[in-house]
């Protein structure tokens, strides 16, 4: 399938590991040029080494994408280095404190606000002028399947992820006439690294491929039809599709990718 991403400049926020790194690998295979933003410089350098060995042009920008002004600088560096910006994917948005509403203080809410909602807002706001300079630009943000089904201990996380989905919808409506598409993915259970899966498999007495699912089934009461967690590359494939020309009539959508999750 031709995705028409060769030579396109894509900025990935949260590109050093997990879904972000998997997205970078898929985009690299499609011929995209990549700007990767993440806090962990060592991991960024590792993924750059891997990608450049395969002929991918990569710019790494280490720092806190949630801090005021950082993404303005990151976009400026990207445009200066590559001569433009065509796509934005925001994967970062860490899970913070899990607790009931009456147990969360203002600092807990502030952390989610800054590192989930405002990280996405600042990334989009910084990128928009450059994205609007190309006739077929696209943004993909990351929400969560929990916005469809409330879970008591995820009240702050879910509130901010709901807002992220709303921002994507607003961008799609506001800038669609100028050729910009904006969509959101809503992941379900995400697989962990191999070491964590081995530990979980030993704890629950199950195969490693089922370990992460077994954890959320027992500890959070979640049921997943496929009885496993989603692999990073599976989420990456959806992000890349939504960034591509093959999704040219998809905008304003929040797409579940959850293996058939039922809370």
The domain made up of 9-188+232-254 has a fold known as Rossmann fold (3.40.50)
Q: Which residues pair with 183 in a beta bridge?
A: 140
Compute the C-alpha angle 189/195/198, nearest 5°.
80
pLDDT confidence of residue 95: 83
pLDDT confidence of residue 219: 86
Cut 0.75: pTM above it:
yes
- Do β-strands 254-257 and 181-187 pair in parallel, antiparallel, or remain unpaired? parallel
Contact, 236 vs 196, CB < 8 A?
Answer: no
In terms of phi and psi (left: phi > 0; alpha: psi -120 to 50; beta: otherwise), the region of 2 is beta
pLDDT confidence of residue 94: 79
pLDDT confidence of residue 96: 86
| φ and ψ at residue 203, rounded to 5 degrees | -65, -40
CA-CA distances (angstroms) from residue 182 to 47, 85, 110, 178? 26, 15, 26, 12
Give me the tens of pLDDT residue by residue for the chain, a chain 263 residues long.
689 999 999 999 999 999 999 999 999 999 999 999 999 999 999 999 999 999 999 999 999 998 999 999 999 999 999 999 999 999 987 788 899 999 999 999 999 999 999 999 999 999 999 999 998 999 999 999 999 888 888 999 999 999 999 999 999 999 999 999 999 999 999 998 889 999 999 999 999 989 999 998 898 888 899 999 999 999 999 999 999 999 999 999 999 999 998 76
pLDDT confidence of residue 29: 96
Q: Which residues contact 199 (CB under 8 A, 6 or more apart)?
A: none
In terms of DSSP H, where are the helices of the chain?
18-29, 41-52, 70-82, 106-112, 119-131, 155-175, 194-204, 208-220, 232-243
Q: Which residues contact 45 (CB under 8 A, 6 or more apart)?
A: 60
Tokens of 227: 């009885």
pLDDT confidence of residue 54: 95
Tell which residue, 244, 252, 253, has the closest CA to residue 177. Answer: 252
Tokens of 108: 């807990």
Query: Long-range contact list for 260-263, CB < 8 A, 24+ apart?
Result: 260/224, 260/225, 260/226, 261/145, 261/188, 261/189, 261/222, 261/223, 261/224, 261/225, 262/149, 262/222, 262/223, 262/224, 262/225, 263/146, 263/149, 263/150, 263/151, 263/220, 263/221, 263/222, 263/223
Tokens of 25: 């690998």
Residue with structure tokens 């303005």?
72
pLDDT confidence of residue 172: 98
pLDDT confidence of residue 263: 61
Tell which residue, 35, 110, 44, has the closest CA to residue 73. Answer: 35
In terms of phi and psi (left: phi > 0; alpha: psi -120 to 50; beta: otherwise), the region of 253 is beta
Domain with CATH 3.40.50.720 in the chain: 9-188+232-254
Instruction: Give the sheet arrangement for strand 9-13, strand by strand.
Output: 58-62, 33-38, 9-13, 87-90, 138-142, 181-187, 254-257
């Amino acid at each position: 399938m031709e995705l028409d991403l060769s030579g396109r400049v894509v900025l990935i926020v949260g590109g050093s590991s997990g879904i972000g790194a998997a997205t970078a690998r898929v985009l690299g295979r499609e011929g995209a040029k990549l700007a990767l933003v993440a806090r962990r410089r060592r991991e960024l350098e590792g993924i750059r080494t891997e990608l450049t060995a395969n002929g991918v042009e990569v710019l790494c920008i280490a720092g806190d994408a949630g801090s005021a002004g950082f993404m303005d600088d990151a976009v400026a560096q990207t445009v200066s280095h590559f001569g433009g910006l065509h796509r934005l994917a925001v994967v970062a948005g860490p899970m913070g404190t899990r607790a009931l509403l009456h147990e969360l203080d203002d600092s807990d809410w502030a952390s989610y606000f800054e590192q989930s909602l405002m990280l996405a807002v600042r990334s989009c706001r910084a990128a928009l002028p450059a994205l609007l300079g190309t006739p077929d630009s696209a943004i993909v943000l990351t929400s969560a399947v929990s916005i469809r089904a409330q879970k008591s201990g995820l009240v702050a996380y879910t509130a901010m992820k709901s807002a992220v989905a709303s921002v994507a919808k607003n961008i799609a409506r506001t800038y669609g006439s100028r050729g910009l598409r904006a969509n959101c993915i809503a992941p379900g259970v995400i697989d962990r690294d191999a070491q964590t899966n081995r530990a979980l498999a030993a704890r629950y007495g199950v195969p490693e491929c089922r370990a992460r699912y077994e954890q959320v089934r027992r500890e959070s009461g979640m049921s997943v039809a496929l009885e496993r967690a989603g692999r990073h590359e599976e989420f990456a494939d959806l992000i890349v599709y939504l960034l591509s020309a093959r999704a040219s009539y998809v905008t304003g959508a929040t797409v579940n990718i959850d293996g058939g999750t039922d809370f």
